[in-house]
Homo-oligomer: A and B are copies of this chain.
């Protein structure tokens, strides 16, 4: 779980997930396309995503295909984020009492 949160903490990696969401099964070079960093940097990001089980890979000849695995994200949504949605109304009423001049 911690690995997933850490993997999602970086904007470049979230962008890579976005690109895979738009088109699944891309090769490393395809994923590098248009990015302002070297292929090796992208490789590292993808390794982190793979370690967090957010991306799975398949080797096809000399190419490596990357597939999005949405399950860990889904789990975070179900088991962590909704937990805080449940307490939202109560928390807001608590806050409303205390906060009048705070920006949002």
Question: Which chain A residues numbered 12 to 51 have a C-beta less than 8 Å away from chain B?
Answer: 14, 17, 21, 24-25
The majority secondary structure among interface residues of chain A is helix
- Bound together, the chains give a CA A104 to CA B69 distance in angstroms of 10
Among B2, B74, B84, contact of A73 (Cβ-Cβ < 8 Å): B84
Residue A61 CB within 8 A of the other chain: no
Q: Which chain B residue shows the least CB distance to A68?
A: B91
A18–chain B nearest beta-carbon distance, Å: 8
Q: Residues of A at under 8 Å CB distance from B?
A: 2, 5-6, 8-9, 11, 14, 17, 21, 24-25, 53, 56, 58, 65, 67-71, 73-74, 76-78, 80-91, 93-96, 98-99, 102, 104
